[in-house]
Amino acid sequence: MSASESQPLCQIRTEILRAAKLCSPGLESLGRLTFDSDPTEVSAVAHWRDAVFLPLLAPAIRDTATASRQGCRELVCVDKALDKRLAGPLAKTSRASGLAIANALQAPNSEPALKKFLTAVGAGTTPGHMVIVFSARASVFHFPVQVIAGALVVLEMRTATVDSAWGAVQSCLESLPPAEASLRAA
């Protein structure tokens, strides 16, 4: 890979890591999110990508990015829609992680929708799924949807080595539908 090709790759990785760090305080105290296998097993990552990330999380990220520009009511609708689709232990860990992140976050004063949404998560009036809380926070900092998606994959794979985590990010981003995948390599 030439220097000109590696520079954008480096910038994309930097943005993904920046989004992950900025939008998920208290990450060290969180358990697993929706990925509950060994992140070094390519087949486990592929199964999670196809069963959870692509049909549930990626659309939730996109919908949250749109809803965060509209208002709290729209964020709650996206959160509740995901809650109807995500079931069992994955939903339980997602809600617990989302609540922990929401309790650790402070919304900027210029973002009343995020403030109201975090209050609703804390009050238990909305499920508060991790992907929604994280994406809403990342959206107010104007991270592109693909960077938010990449950052979420990094968070899901955070127990993996760096190479394994980046492999999972690349696999997930390359699997997004073309309209959602203007970012192809991570």
CB burial of 171-180 (b: ≥16 within 10 Å; e: otherwise) equals bbbeebeeeb
Q: Smallest Cα–Cα separation from 49: which of 57, 40, 38? A: 57
Global pTM reads 0.88
Average pLDDT of the segment spanning 126-139: 96
Q: Mean pLDDT of all residues in the chain?
A: 87
Judged by average pLDDT, the poorest of 4-8, 51-55, 65-69, 119-123 is: 4-8
Q: What's the structural domain count of the chain?
A: 1
Does residue 184 surpass a pLDDT of 50?
A: no
The predicted structure's pLDDT at residue 179? 61
Does residue 121 surpass a pLDDT of 70?
A: yes
Q: Any residues with CB less than 8 A from the CB of 179 and at least 6 apart, and which? A: none
The answer as to whether 4 is a domain residue is: no
The answer as to whether 159 is a domain residue is: yes
The answer as to whether 6 is a domain residue is: no
The answer as to whether 148 is a domain residue is: yes
Which of 33-37, 73-77, 179-183 tops mean pLDDT?
Answer: 73-77
What percentage of the chain has pLDDT greater than the value 90? 65
Average pLDDT of the segment spanning 99-119: 92
Average pLDDT of the segment spanning 121-132: 96
* C-beta pairs of 32-36 under 8 Å, 24+ apart in sequence: 32/93, 33/93, 33/94, 33/97, 33/130, 33/155, 33/156, 34/86, 34/90, 34/93, 34/94, 34/130, 34/131, 34/156, 35/156, 35/157, 36/89, 36/90, 36/93
The answer as to whether 24 is a domain residue is: no
Which residues constitute the domain of residue 134? 52-180
The answer as to whether 42 is a domain residue is: no
The predicted structure's pLDDT at residue 31? 73
The answer as to whether 59 is a domain residue is: yes
